[in-house]
Amino acid sequence: MDRRLPELPEVEVTRRQLRAALCGRRIRAVHTAGAGQFFVTRPRTLRQKLPDRTVLRLRRHGKYLIGELDDGSRLVLHLGMTGQLFTADPGVRYRGRGELQVAPEQRPRPLDVHTHLCIEFRDGGPEVRFRDVRKFGRVLLLDAGQTDARLDKLGVDALSARGKQLFAASRKRRTAVKTLLLNQSVLAGIGNIYADEALHQCGIRPTRAAGRLSRADCEQLVEIIRAVMRDSIRLGGTTVSDFINPEGRDGSFQRCLQVYAREGEPCWTCGAEIRRIVLGQRSTHFCPHCQRR
């Protein structure tokens, strides 16, 4: 299975690849499969409201993709852990037992079990599909002017963050710096891989109390976070798997990972054994020699 572990760089790569396939095309119909927490907005509502709309712009904030529609509403997508957005020819069928809820004259339109959303366009061109094996992803449609807590509470996007913002947010925080980096209301977009990688490059131990970081620490850390993410975007993100996705190219940043998923292996900088601990219920990897600060 293709696991892209979507953090900011992977979502940004997805945004860039999807932009042309989504923007400026009038929606004909929306097909949904299944229900549950994946659909924050009820599937029926999506099927009713999206037809005849056009996505004008595709933005990103942290790990959220936000499609701005021509009536002022917003289609908000989160890839969760295993979410994949891709295009596919309308005629392409998938194996599996997923049953789509579609107009009677179009039945059946089988997709694979894990494809929950399919957007069809009036021009008859490729559809945009949202597949998510573990259903940690989210789909919601916000009416014009409607706000949503999960977007409102996001901090500044990590790609444009400044050190002073992390410094301000970290004051009087006793939580580990790694845990603070994963907090999306501080800096938006950092996930487990890039938090570990950035802390390693910065020489900061993940368990360090956030409140004990100096202003200079924060400035250096944010600079490194931005650099790591820029590099990853350039390389197409991180793909953890040997599976080749038929719809798209895999990223190659996984070859640059210094500590993530390298427990017991030697640090490439000093040769010490990479250690793995658990912080905030998340696995955390670091070099005990290089990361002493």
Of the pair 36, 271, the CB lying nearest DNA is at 36
Tell me if 280 contacts DNA by CB under 7 A: yes
Contact region for DNA (CB under 7 A) — 19-27, 77-85, 160-168, 245-253? Answer: 77-85
Residues 6+ apart with CB under 8 A from 81: 3, 5, 6, 134, 136, 137
Q: Residue from 19, 47, 173, 289 that binds DNA (CB under 7 A)?
A: 173
Tell me if 133 contacts DNA by CB under 7 A: yes
Tell me if 7 contacts DNA by CB under 7 A: yes
Number of residues that bind DNA (CB under 7 A): 35
Contact region for DNA (CB under 7 A) — 1-9, 49-57, 155-163, 199-207? Answer: 1-9
CB atoms within 10 A of CB 250: 18
In the 8-state DSSP scheme, what is residue 235?
T
Q: CB–CB of 85/129 below 8 Å?
A: yes
Give the whole-angstrom CA distance, residue 239 versus residue 60: 20
Tell me if 229 contacts DNA by CB under 7 A: no
Residues 6+ apart with CB under 8 A from 118: 30, 31, 32, 100, 109, 111, 127, 128, 129, 130
What token pair was written down for 132?
């998510």
Cα dihedral across residues 234, 240, 243, 245: positive or negative: negative
Contact region for DNA (CB under 7 A) — 65-73, 116-124, 266-274, 279-287? Answer: 279-287
The contact pattern for DNA, residues 175-204, with x = CB under 7 A and - = no contact, is x---xx-x-x------xxx-----------
Contact region for DNA (CB under 7 A) — 218-226, 229-237, 264-272, 281-289? Answer: 281-289
Binding to DNA (CB under 7 A) within 26-45 occurs at 36-37
Of the pair 29, 40, the CB lying nearest DNA is at 40
Nearest approach, Cβ of residue 97 and DNA (Å): 11
Tell me if 97 contacts DNA by CB under 7 A: no
Give the whole-angstrom CA distance, residue 135 versus residue 35: 10
Q: Please give the backbone phi and psi of residue 254, each rounded to the nearest 5 degrees, phi first.
A: -55, -25
